C-alpha cells in the first residue's frame, strides 16, 4: 500500500454561526488519485483553502508525510510541495503577463534568482513545461488574449512544473476539450508513477472513471463515504454525496408551436458548411460538440458579439442582426455565458446586484432603483435556484463556484424573453444542482425557445427535447431525446461516425 502523503483528522472550520467543516477525516496516499465529490456548499472549497494556506482551520490536525502541517499562506504550502489549481482560472494565471512568464512565475519568485533575466533561457524552459502537458500555443502571447481552455492548461502546466508532492486539482477539465482532458490524464498518470498524491475534485463521471483510484464523498461538511478497489461504486458514491438515491432522469418531450429562431444557410466562417437550424417556442434544443466545434462562436453570433460569415438569422420571422449584447437583449434574446469569472460575475457587487444587472432599467423609477421590488424578485429567484446564501445582500464572492453559476443562470431567467441561450450552464455545479437547474429551465420553457450549449452528453440528455451535434462548425447529427443511440451520438461528437463519413464522401 502507498505511503500516506496527507492525513487529515477531525478538521473543523466555521464562518460565524455557519459551520462549514464538521470534523473532516481522510487520508491521501502517495501515487494515487483521490477523487473528492460533494454537492455545492458541502465544504470542498473550504477544505482546499485550508490545505493550501488560504484559510486557517479552527481545530483538527493535518499531517504531511507524518509531520504537522499548518501553512499560514499559499507560499508556505508551496514550500512544502502542496500545489493547487483552483476552479477559478484567474487564480492560476496572471492575465497581463505572457505565457512564458506565467509558466515560470513560481521559479522566478524564488530567493536567489538573478536580477537580470535571459529571455532565451526563459523561453527554453517554458517550452519544456508547455511540451510536458501538450500545450501548443504561442508562448509570447499575453494570457489575457487567450481563451479559457488555454488559460486552464497554462494554470495546470504551471502547477505541474512546481514538482508537487500533493497536487490539488479543482474541476480541472471544466473548460477543456476531450483531447486536452486526455493529455491531462496522461500527465496525472506520470505524476502517480512519480509518487505524487493527487486530490481531484470533480463531478464528471467521465473524469472519475478515467483516473480515480478511490472516491471520497462529502456531504454537509463531513466525509460521508469512501470507495476504492477495482470496481469503484460510482452509484454508491453519488448516493453518499447526496444522502439519497437519484432515480433515472426522464424527459417528457415538450409540445412545440411556432418557430422562434431560424438559422438559414448560416456559415460560422468562410470555409464552414451552412447551418439550417430551427428552434420553436416551448422547445429546449441542446447543441453539443467538442471544443472548437463552433458552439461558442454560434452563441456569440446570436448575442451580437460576433458576425456570421454568411447567411440569415430570423427571430419570430423577422430578420435578426444583433450588433451588440444590448441590442440582442432589447430584441428579447438573453444569454448566460460559460466563462462566468470574466464575462458574468461582478465581484464587487452583491447577489442582488449581480442577479438584476441587465435589468436595472426595469427596477428603476425616475433613475432610482426600487429596492423593495428588486429584493422581492431576487429573493424568489434565490429560493427557486436553491442558491446557498444568507441573503441577497451577501457578496457574490462569498459563494461557491456552483452557487455563483446558479446566480448567473438565474439572472437570465429573472425576466421573460423570446430566446434563452445558455452556454455551459452546468459548469462547476454538482449533480443534484444540475438537475435542479435543468428542471427549472424546462419548467419555464413554454413561452420561449431555449438553446443550450453543452459538452457533456449526460448533461444534454437530462435537459433536451432535441440534440444537435456540431463538428468542425457543421451539423453532423440530430436526435430527438427518446431512445437515443448513444454510441452513435458519441461517435458524431468525436467526428468518427459512419454518418459523418458518408456525408463527407458526398461533398
Q: What is the DSSP string of 343-406?
A: HT--TTSBHHHHHHGGGTTTTEETTEE-HHHHHHHHHHHHHHHT--SS-TTSBGGGS-HHHHHH
Q: The C-alpha cell of 54 is what?
A: 488560504
Alpha carbon distance 134, 129 (integer Å): 9
First vs last C-alpha separation in the chain? 57
Alpha carbon distance 397, 129 (integer Å): 32
**Which uninterrupted H or E stretch holds 299?**
helix 295-302
The dotted CATH code for 259-505 is 3.40.50.300
pLDDT of residue 91: 73
Largest Cα–Cα distance of the chain, in whole Å? 70
| Exposure of 391 in the CB half-sphere (CA atoms within 13 A) | 4
What pLDDT digit, counting tens, does each position of 286-307 carry? Answer: 999 877 788 989 999 999 999 9
Q: Which residues contact 370 (CB under 8 A, 6 or more apart)?
A: 363, 364
pLDDT of residue 483: 82
pLDDT of residue 116: 59
Nearest alpha carbon to residue 51 among 32, 31, 28: 28
CB 18 within 8 A of CB 41: no
pLDDT of residue 245: 63
Helix (H), strand (E), coil (C) string for 450-506: EEEEECCHHHHHHHCCEEEEEECCEEEEEEECCCCCHHHHHHHHHCCCHHHHHHHHC
Alpha carbon distance 86, 80 (integer Å): 18
Q: The C-alpha cell of 302 is what?
A: 446570436
CB 39 within 8 A of CB 84: no
Residues in the chain with pLDDT values less than 70: 1-2, 40, 109-117, 231, 244-250, 341, 494-507
pLDDT of residue 314: 96
Where are the extended beta strands (E) located within 268-337?
275-280, 284-288, 310-315, 318-319, 333-336
pLDDT of residue 249: 57
Class of the 1-81+164-248 domain? alpha beta
Instruction: Write out the residue limits of the CATH 3.40.50.300 domain(s) in the chain.
Output: 1-81+164-248, 259-505
Helix (H, G, I), strand (E, B) or coil at 11: strand
Alpha carbon distance 418, 406 (integer Å): 21
Q: The C-alpha cell of 405 is what?
A: 453559476
Helix (H, G, I), strand (E, B) or coil at 247: coil
Our CA dihedral for 145, 149, 150, 152, rounded to 10 degrees, sits at 110
Amino acid at each position: 500500500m502507498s505511503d500516506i502523503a496527507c492525513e487529515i483528522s477531525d478538521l473543523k472550520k466555521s464562518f460565524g454561526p455557519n459551520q462549514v467543516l464538521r470534523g473532516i477525516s481522510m487520508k491521501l496516499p502517495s501515487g494515487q488519485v483521490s477523487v473528492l465529490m460533494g454537492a455545492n456548499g458541502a465544504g470542498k472549497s473550504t477544505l482546499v483553502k485550508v490545505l493550501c494556506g488560504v484559510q486557517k482551520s479552527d481545530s483538527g490536525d493535518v499531517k504531511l508525510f507524518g509531520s504537522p502541517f499548518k501553512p499560514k499562506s499559499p507560499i508556505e504550502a508551496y514550500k512544502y510541495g502542496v500545489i493547487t489549481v483552483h476552479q477559478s482560472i484567474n487564480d492560476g494565471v496572471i492575465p497581463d503577463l505572457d505565457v512564458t512568464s506565467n509558466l515560470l512565475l513560481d521559479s522566478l519568485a524564488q530567493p536567489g534568482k538573478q536580477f537580470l533575466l535571459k529571455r532565451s533561457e526563459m523561453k527554453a524552459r517554458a517550452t519544456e513545461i508547455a511540451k510536458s502537458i501538450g500545450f501548443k500555443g504561442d508562448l509570447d502571447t499575453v494570457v489575457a488574449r487567450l481563451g479559457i481552455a488555454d488559460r486552464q492548461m497554462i494554470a495546470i502546466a504551471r502547477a505541474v512544473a512546481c514538482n508537487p508532492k500533493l497536487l490539488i486539482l479543482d474541476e480541472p477539465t471544466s473548460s477543456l476539450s476531450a483531447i486536452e482532458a486526455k493529455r491531462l490524464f496522461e500527465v496525472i498518470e506520470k505524476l502517480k508513477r512519480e509518487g505524487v498524491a493527487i486530490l481531484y475534485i470533480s463531478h464528471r463521471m467521465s473524469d472519475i472513471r478515467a483516473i480515480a483510484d478511490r472516491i471520497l464523498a462529502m456531504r454537509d461538511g463531513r466525509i460521508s463515504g469512501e470507495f476504492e478497489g477495482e470496481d469503484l461504486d460510482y452509484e454508491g458514491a453519488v448516493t453518499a454525496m447526496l444522502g439519497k438515491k437519484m432515480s433515472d432522469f426522464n424527459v417528457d418531450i415538450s409540445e412545440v408551436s411556432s418557430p422562434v429562431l431560424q438559422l438559414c444557410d448560416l456559415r460560422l466562417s468562410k470555409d464552414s458548411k451552412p447551418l439550417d437550424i430551427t428552434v420553436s417556442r416551448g422547445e429546449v434544443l441542446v447543441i453539443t460538440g467538442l471544443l472548437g466545434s463552433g458552439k461558442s462562436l454560434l452563441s456569440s453570433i446570436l448575442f451580437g458579439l460576433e458576425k456570421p460569415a454568411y447567411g440569415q438569422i430570423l427571430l419570430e420571422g423577422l430578420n435578426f442582426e444583433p450588433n451588440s449584447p444590448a441590442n440582442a437583449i432589447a430584441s428579447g434574446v438573453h444569454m448566460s455565458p460559460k466563462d462566468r469569472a470574466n464575462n458574468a460575475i461582478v465581484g464587487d457587487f452583491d447577489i442582488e446586484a449581480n442577479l438584476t444587472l441587465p435589468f436595472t432599467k426595469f427596477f428603476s423609477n425616475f433613475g432610482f432603483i426600487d429596492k423593495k421590488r428588486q429584493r422581492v424578485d431576487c429573493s424568489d429567484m434565490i429560493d427557486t435556484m436553491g442558491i446557498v446564501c444568507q441573503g441577497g445582500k451577501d457578496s457574490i464572492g462569498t459563494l461557491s463556484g456552483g452557487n455563483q453559476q446558479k446566480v448567473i443562470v438565474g439572472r437570465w431567467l429573472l425576466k421573460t424573453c423570446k430566446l434563452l441561450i445558455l452556454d455551459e450552464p452546468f459548469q462547476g455545479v454538482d449533480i443534484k444542482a444540475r438537475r435542479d437547474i435543468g428542471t427549472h429551465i424546462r419548467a419555464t420553457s413554454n413561452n420561449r425557445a431555449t438553446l443550450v450549449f453543452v459538452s457533456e452528453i449526460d448533461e444534454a440528455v437530462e435537459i433536451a427535447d432535441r440534440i444537435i451535434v456540431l463538428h468542425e462548425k457543421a451539423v453532423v447529427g440530430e436526435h430527438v431525446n427518446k431512445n437515443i443511440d448513444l454510441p452513435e451520438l458519441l461517435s458524431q461528437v468525436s467526428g468518427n461516425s459512419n454518418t459523418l463519413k458518408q456525408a463527407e464522401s458526398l461533398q
